[in-house]
Copies of this chain bind each other. A is one copy, B any other.
Amino acid sequence: MNIIVQKYGGTSVGNIPKIKSVADRILKAKSSGAAMVVVVSAMGHTTDRLVNLARAITRKPSRREMDMLLSTGEQISIALLSLAIQERGAKAISLTGLQSGIVTDANYSMAKIKSVKTDSIVSQLEKDHVVIVAGFQGVSNGFEITTLGRGGSDTTASALAVALQARCCEIYTDVEGVYTTDPNLVPEAKKLHYISYEEMVELAGAGAQVLHPRSVEIAMKFGVPIAVRPSYSDAPGTVVMEAAKLENVVITGVTGNKNIAKVAIRGIPDRPGVAAQIFSALGSQGINIRLIIQSIAADGLNDISLVVSREFVKQAAEVLEGQRRSLKAKEIVCHDKLAEVSIVGSGIASTPGVAARMFKILAKQKINIDLISSSEVRITCVIDEKRTPEAIRALHQEFRLEKLQRGLARK
């Protein structure tokens, strides 16, 4: 079957006129002969509204009940979109996570998709239905409702595209595509026609809000291209695909992430296994560690610094405080006014001197670098939160990203 998976975010289905125009867009794509599977998020601020209701009841809501609550948001939008398509004379059916066979683990509120049982979707496609699937949700242990956490609808879409062997996964958003950096911050930022999966994972992980990294990883594993497109026009957007099929460029983007904090445990007596003990304690609490730096102080005692998302800082500090006592370490220090600035590009590893150039640019702006980390396609500096915009502008300009041209690789 010639299947296209489309995903529409909360702003794209934020009100009834928008839902109707999404219905038109879907039927236009269907008229080209494709079988359509459409993943939808909750309308506009529905999720926030539901979260506020729960907060008015309890400060520590059980994650199972939150998933029961929040999954209704997507269930409303799939029903409405299905009605809008039916109103246009086409056949449509809405399916919840459970009904569409999206099986997850039992980790409520941040569940991972384990498998997709496609029978039900395929049988509806065979009956010529547009299949509207609730994003962000799945089912575990038979009938338990789970949600996938932030960006979950993107993940639903790419998991479905992979499981259904779709031709393409189209993610509709309220921007033109993926840019070299945030155009609100740098007006010269350039829209990319193509980007590799690896670059996209790093850009998303480093703060670009366009696509959730997990959704890109899933598509990457099976080579399904993802098109990030605007929901308000027919512009082609940005295609995320295999690096091998793209022209090589050193740097494709600069991005900042203000949502981070550092927690350090200082003065740890040097004993083997200490780091492992700390990390397993953090891991068992579901705290995601972005970066770890271990250093030896002059007095032979160790310091360990962790960079985490700000939402985890309190929890991480509590866990470390427990560890501090059992390790007889000196103190816990938190610092939450930090930010990450990253450059991302497939040519970083193969181009000597890129890191040095980055540090030099920041030094020229008199921006102190607190910590550094890097991957094959990314270099990240942790800096003072207040300096983020300047740092991004300077990096974007010095690497001349406003002139970036990248096409498909020549064979």
Let me know if A50 is at the binding interface, CB within 8 A: yes
Do A62 and B75 form a contact, CB below 8 Å, given A16-B57, A57-B16?
no
The answer for the CA separation of A310 and B50 in the assembled complex, in Å, is 36
Copies in the complex: 2
Interface centre among A71, A76, A87 (most CB of B within 10 A): A76
Interface centre among A72, A75, A83 (most CB of B within 10 A): A83
Q: Are B72 and A86 in contact (CB under 8 A)?
A: no
Q: List 8 A-B contacts (CB under 8 A).
A: A19-B57, A54-B79, A57-B80, A57-B87, A58-B87, A69-B83, A98-B143, A120-B143
Do A69 and B79 form a contact, CB below 8 Å, given A16-B56, A56-B16, A143-B99?
yes
A interface residues (Cβ-Cβ under 8 A, vs B) = 16, 19-20, 50, 53-54, 56-58, 61-62, 64-66, 68-69, 71-72, 75-76, 78-80, 82-84, 86-87, 93-94, 96, 98-99, 120, 143-145
A389 vs chain B, min Cβ distance (A):
40
The answer for the CA separation of A61 and B80 in the assembled complex, in Å, is 9
Interface centre among A62, A94, A96 (most CB of B within 10 A): A62
Within 8 Å CB of A96, what residues of B? 68, 145
Known: A16-B53, A66-B79. 5 other contacts (CB 8 A): A54-B79, A68-B94, A69-B79, A69-B83, A75-B75
Within 8 Å CB of A80, what residues of B? 53-54, 57, 69
The answer for the CA separation of A96 and B80 in the assembled complex, in Å, is 20
Q: Are B57 and A84 in contact (CB under 8 A)?
A: yes
The answer for the CA separation of A68 and B100 in the assembled complex, in Å, is 14
Q: Are A68 and B75 in contact (CB under 8 A)?
A: yes
Q: Are B87 and A65 in contact (CB under 8 A)?
A: no
- Indicate which residue in B54, B83, B120 contacts A62 across the interface (CB closer than 8 Å): B83
- Indicate which residue in B20, B58, B78, B98 contacts A83 across the interface (CB closer than 8 Å): B58
Q: Are B20 and A57 in contact (CB under 8 A)?
A: yes
Q: Are B62 and A86 in contact (CB under 8 A)?
A: yes
Do A72 and B65 form a contact, CB below 8 Å, given A53-B16, A58-B87, A83-B54?
no
Do A65 and B53 form a contact, CB below 8 Å, given A72-B72, A84-B58, A87-B58?
no
Within 8 Å CB of A71, what residues of B? 75
